[in-house]
């Protein structure tokens, strides 16, 4: 009997819930965000929309807390251009019978007008004013809940004074800061914990219950992989590719091309694994440890491949040098930065030397209404988030339609 | 073996109020036959149903684990010098899209949210130099660099904190800024501005302009007054301008309400083919008036503050002494608290900059 699955994981996957954090699960659900079923009644649609959106916006707030913040008025801006303002006094809009001469206004202005302002995406804009939310949006914390913890634990200051209320509403021009070690903890990779087994307590209980039938999570994953005919785990990652001077983008981590059979996907995985074996062989050969000819389990002539690999090695090294030289001009090599402590430090709660946490790049953005300086961990709330034609500043994974329904729900259930 | 239930208990989303772009649950594979034989063929229909339910759940988790180990690997590590958002991948093949518009969409379902670039560190340094070392006003710097007024002021404040840290020899996390900048779109300092900056000492009246602005510096906030429809009778011969429209809404004309009215004046002068020297002189005059107006405002504000009470300056602190009546101010022992009343706030509503 296979052991039971993680209930919470199933719940999040089944309902496609996106939370405000940098987890791979949230990223997975981002790509399959639920849409409201339009064939149901309006009431049901609105109810579902508010349910879906509130799972992301202010997940830890009670309904009443959110209702107290909700505003029916939605902020927006009109992009003006100096050239157009200087050219005319705007009378062309009211010319003729009040809607432009001959019923139309010439030029690009008309075009711009046609792009709609997504007002409804501003529904949850008041939440972005909260201190904990701004801390999360400024990338000072890895989740909204962690941001709240930082505030409550006294690591956050507003205008130089300690602020322990996560519900403090920032005013335009407020400067907030988070203690730098906390930011490095939130954005960095976790500290390796040797000998620690995830869910060890749960696993131990399972082991007692099942006895000999017990299988470890690793074995379980492997069983599932074979059962559902999935490819093996890709042994490569970007850093090794970069070290070899390869373009990290050239590595295809994809699940395969459109229409690929599961067999082909598995084949790709095996090829990648063989490639690694060939490399290891090459390294051993250089060290003089192993020179015997061998054929791998999958029937690949490793010796022949090693020779090919060596031939391509020089070219790759050259390419790597060129790449590094080019990058230096951009000044982007953060791992060579003089301020980055290069040694292992047992006292800090994150991995040393510091490295960005996995899956960070998919969530790395700063909203336009914030100005952040990560050098010191300070940020300024410039103004309230606004909508402009075709754009909204409130970061939300849901589409305009879902927000429209949610807005109507809150509008009605307001005071 | 008992007959399989015709409908699957979990897998069917028919009663659900929402759907996803792809089915959340795929049809689970039929349970293995030896599974039932193990139990000696004593599996009830309920048992089969429960087993199918679990099978569907395992499938759900397996799909996710498959994604993490295959397509999810695209996101595990950053792409160095290029953003790597979910919107820039094809949701089925997980191949990177080469389209220009797809690079800045972190939420694939919400195309209206696009990531705005951040200022590069050199750009921020240049803004700080312009305001603090060269003594240009925030407004002038904003026009010159194509960065909004609030952002210029914020950059200067943040840089001031950073300089203080450097002075105190507090370690900066410059590697963090660099690392995050490699994952986000960045606005770099235009090269011609850096070139002109060195010449600036000779001709400070003619500041260089950024060819492409970091953001639109002439954005006009929509005032609630202007959101209501207004029907104004006007003759066809009447030239109904922006100023008239503003008057009817009880607002200043757009030309005065935008963040940089003087830029409009400058553009008008340029359109009128004015002599370059005249152009510069007029702009300088506008800048001077701007500064004068600001100083006048500050002076008035100070006057009012001084009138309101005696000011006692004591090092870091300024004490404003005002007349007050006992019993009307402060907390008095024995008097019930007012804190549950309307309009009493326990959480601070503003923090004054010291």
Query: Among B68, B199, B323, B266, which Cα is nearest to A359's?
Result: B68
CA distances from B158 to A383, B169, B188 (A): 16, 17, 18
Q: Given the structure tokens 């409201």, which residue do they identify?
A: A36
How many domains is chain A built from?
A: 2
- Is residue B321 very low, low, confident or very high in pLDDT (cuts 50, 70, 90)? confident
Regarding an ipTM greater than 0.90, the answer is no
Instruction: Identify whether A354 is part of a domain.
Output: no
CA distances from A400 to A21, A71, A388, B282, B321 (A): 22, 17, 14, 47, 54
Q: How far is A365 from chain B (nearest CA, A)?
A: 6
Chain A residues whose CB is inside 8 A of the B116 CB are 365-368
- Is residue B317 very low, low, confident or very high in pLDDT (cuts 50, 70, 90)? confident
Best residue in B10, B69, B81, B232 to probe A by mutation, most A CBs within 10 Å? B69
Pair A70, A122 in one domain = yes
Q: Say how many C-beta atoms besides its own lie within 10 A of residue A346's C-beta.
A: 6
Pair A240, A178 in one domain = no
Q: Across the interface, do A333 and B178 touch by the CB < 8 Å criterion?
A: yes
**Given this model, what pLDDT does residue A282 score?**
59
Q: Report which DSSP code applies to B279.
A: H
The pLDDT tens digits for B91-144 are 888 888 877 677 899 999 999 999 999 999 999 999 999 999 999 999 999 999
Residue range of the domain that includes A386:
16-75+118-191+365-412
The tokens of A14 are what? 């089944």
Q: How far is A270 from chain B (nearest CA, A)?
A: 13
Instruction: Identify whether A270 is part of a domain.
Output: yes
**Given this model, what pLDDT does residue B125 score?**
96
Quote the percentage of chain B above a pLDDT of 90.
43
Chain B residues whose CB is inside 8 A of the A364 CB are 78, 83, 180, 183-184
Q: Across the interface, do A89 and B350 touch by the CB < 8 Å criterion?
A: no
Q: Is the pLDDT of residue B45 over 50?
A: yes
Chain B residues whose CB is inside 8 A of the A121 CB are 110, 112-113
- Is residue B3 very low, low, confident or very high in pLDDT (cuts 50, 70, 90)? low
A172, closest residue in chain B (CA to CA): B150
Instruction: Identify whether A264 is part of a domain.
Output: yes
Query: Cα A335 from chain centroid?
Result: 21
Q: How far is A68 from chain B (nearest CA, A)?
A: 14
Residue ranges of chain A whose pLDDT lies below 50:
195, 234-259, 290-303, 305-331, 414-415
Beta strands A35-36 and B18-19 are: antiparallel
When pLDDT is averaged across residues B74-86 and rounded to a whole number, the result is: 86
Instruction: Identify whether A392 is part of a domain.
Output: yes
Helix-helix angle A217-227:B45-69, to 10 degrees: 100
Instruction: Identify whether A126 is part of a domain.
Output: yes
The tokens of A71 are what? 């505003």
Instruction: In whole angstroms, give the CA distance from residue A173 to residue A380.
Output: 6
Q: Which of B17, B58, B148 sits opposite A44 (nearest CB)?
A: B17
Chain A residues whose CB is inside 8 A of the B349 CB are 169
**Given this model, what pLDDT does residue B30 score?**
57
Pair A308, A372 in one domain = no
Query: Among B101, B176, B183, which Cα is nearest to A364's?
Result: B183
Pair A33, A179 in one domain = yes
Domain-terminating residue out of A298, A315, A336: A336
Beta strands in A18-110 (DSSP E): 35-36, 77-79
Instruction: Identify whether A299 is part of a domain.
Output: yes
| Residue of B148 and A214 predicted with greater confidence | B148
Pair A240, A330 in one domain = yes
Best residue in A25, A31, A246, A326 to probe B by mutation, most B CBs within 10 Å? A31
Q: How far is A292 from chain B (nearest CA, A)?
A: 33
Instruction: Identify whether A66 is part of a domain.
Output: yes
Q: How far is B231 from chain A (nearest CA, A)?
A: 10
Long-range contacts of A409-412 (CB under 8 A, 24+ apart): A409/A46, A409/A47, A409/A49, A409/A50, A410/A50, A410/A67, A410/A70, A410/A123, A411/A72, A412/A46
Pair A51, A174 in one domain = yes
The tokens of B118 are what? 């951040």
Q: Across the interface, do A360 and B20 touch by the CB < 8 Å criterion?
A: no
The pLDDT tens digits for B189-199 are 887 666 554 44
Q: How far is A299 from chain B (nearest CA, A)?
A: 24
Q: Across the interface, do A254 and B94 touch by the CB < 8 Å criterion?
A: yes
A336, closest residue in chain B (CA to CA): B175
Q: Across the interface, do B76 and A359 touch by the CB < 8 Å criterion?
A: yes
Beta strands in A279-412 (DSSP E): 370-373, 378-381, 387-388, 391-392
Instruction: Identify whether A8 is part of a domain.
Output: no
């Amino acid at each position: 009997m296979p052991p039971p699955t993680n209930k919470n994981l199933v719940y999040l996957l089944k309902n496609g819930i996106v939370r405000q954090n940098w987890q791979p699960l949230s990223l997975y659900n981002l790509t399959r965000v639920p849409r409201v079923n339009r064939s149901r009644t309006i009431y049901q649609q609105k109810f579902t929309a508010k349910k879906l959106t509130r799972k992301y916006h202010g997940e830890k707030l009670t309904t009443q807390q959110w209702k107290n913040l909700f505003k029916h008025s939605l902020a927006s801006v009109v992009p003006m251009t100096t050239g157009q303002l200087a050219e005319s006094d705007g009378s062309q809009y009211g010319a003729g019978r009040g809607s432009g001469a001959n019923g139309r206004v010439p030029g690009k202005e008309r075009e711009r007008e046609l792009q709609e302002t997504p007002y409804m995406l501003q529904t949850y804009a008041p939440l972005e004013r909260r201190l904990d939310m701004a801390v999360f949006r400024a990338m000072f914390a890895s989740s909204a809940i962690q941001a709240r913890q930082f505030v409550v634990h006294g690591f956050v200051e507003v205008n130089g004074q300690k602020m322990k209320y996560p519900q403090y509403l920032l005013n335009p021009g407020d400067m907030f800061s988070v203690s730098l070690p906390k930011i490095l903890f939130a954005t960095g990779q976790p500290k390796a914990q040797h000998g620690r087994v995830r869910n060890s307590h749960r696993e131990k209980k399972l082991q007692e219950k099942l006895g000999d039938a017990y299988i470890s999570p690793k074995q379980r994953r492997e069983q599932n992989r074979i059962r559902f005919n999935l490819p093996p785990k890709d042994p490569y990652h970007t850093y090794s590719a970069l070290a070899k001077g390869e373009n990290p983008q050239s590595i295809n981590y994809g699940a395969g091309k459109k229409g690929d059979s599961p067999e082909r996907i598995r084949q790709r995985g095996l090829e990648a694994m063989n490639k690694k074996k060939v490399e290891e062989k090459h390294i051993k050969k250089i060290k003089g440890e192993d020179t015997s000819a061998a054929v791998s389990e999958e029937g690949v002539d490793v010796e022949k491949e090693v020779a090919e690999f060596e031939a391509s090695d020089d070219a790759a090294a050259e390419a790597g040098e060129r790449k590094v030289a080019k990058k230096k001009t951009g000044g982007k090599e953060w791992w060579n930065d003089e301020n980055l402590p290069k040694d292992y430090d047992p006292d800090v709660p994150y991995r040393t030397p510091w490295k960005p946490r996995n899956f960070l790049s998919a969530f790395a953005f700063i909203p336009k209404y914030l100005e952040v300086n990560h050098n010191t961990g300070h940020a300024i709330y410039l103004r309230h988030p606004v909508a402009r034609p075709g754009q909204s500043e409130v970061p939300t994974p849901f589409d305009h339609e879902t927000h429209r329904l949610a807005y109507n729900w809150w509008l009605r259930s307001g005071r | 073996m008992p007959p399989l239930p015709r409908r699957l208990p979990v897998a069917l989303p028919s009663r659900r109020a929402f759907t996803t772009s792809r089915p959340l649950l795929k049809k689970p594979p039929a349970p293995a036959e030896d599974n039932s034989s193990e139990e000696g063929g004593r599996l009830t229909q309920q048992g089969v149903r429960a087993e199918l339910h679990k099978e569907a759940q395992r499938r759900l988790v397996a799909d996710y684990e498959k994604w993490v180990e295959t397509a999810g690997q695209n996101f595990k590590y950053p792409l160095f010098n290029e953003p790597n958002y979910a919107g820039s991948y094809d949701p089925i093949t997980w191949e990177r899209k080469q389209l220009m518009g797809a690079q800045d969409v972190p939420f694939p379902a919400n195309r209206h949210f696009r990531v705005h670039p951040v200022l590069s560190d050199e750009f921020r340094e240049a803004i700080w130099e312009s305001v603090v070392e060269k003594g240009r006003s925030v407004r002038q710097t904003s026009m010159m660099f194509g960065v909004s007024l609030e952002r210029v002021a914020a950059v200067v404040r943040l840089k001031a904190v950073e300089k203080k840290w450097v002075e105190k020899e507090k370690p900066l996390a410059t590697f963090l800024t660099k690392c995050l900048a490699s994952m986000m779109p960045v606005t770099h300092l235009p090269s011609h501005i850096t070139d002109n900056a060195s010449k600036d000492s000779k001709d400070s009246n003619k500041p260089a302009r950024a060819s492409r602005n970091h953001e639109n510096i002439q954005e006009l906030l929509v005032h609630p007054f202007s959101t209501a429809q207004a029907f104004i009778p006007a003759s066809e011969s009447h030239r109904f301008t922006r100023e008239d429209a503003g008057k009817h809404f009880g607002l200043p004309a757009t030309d005065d309400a935008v963040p940089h009215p003087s830029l409009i004046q400058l553009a008008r002068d340029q359109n009128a083919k004015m002599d370059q020297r005249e152009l510069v002189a007029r702009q300088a005059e506008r800048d001077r008036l701007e500064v004068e107006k600001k100083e006048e405002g500050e002076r008035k504000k100070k006057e009012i503050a001084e009138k309101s009470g005696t000011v006692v300056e004591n090092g870091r602190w300024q004490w404003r002494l005002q007349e007050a009546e006992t019993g009307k101010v402060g907390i008095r022992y024995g008097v019930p608290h007012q804190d549950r009343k309307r309009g009493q706030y326990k959480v601070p509503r503003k923090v004054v900059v010291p």
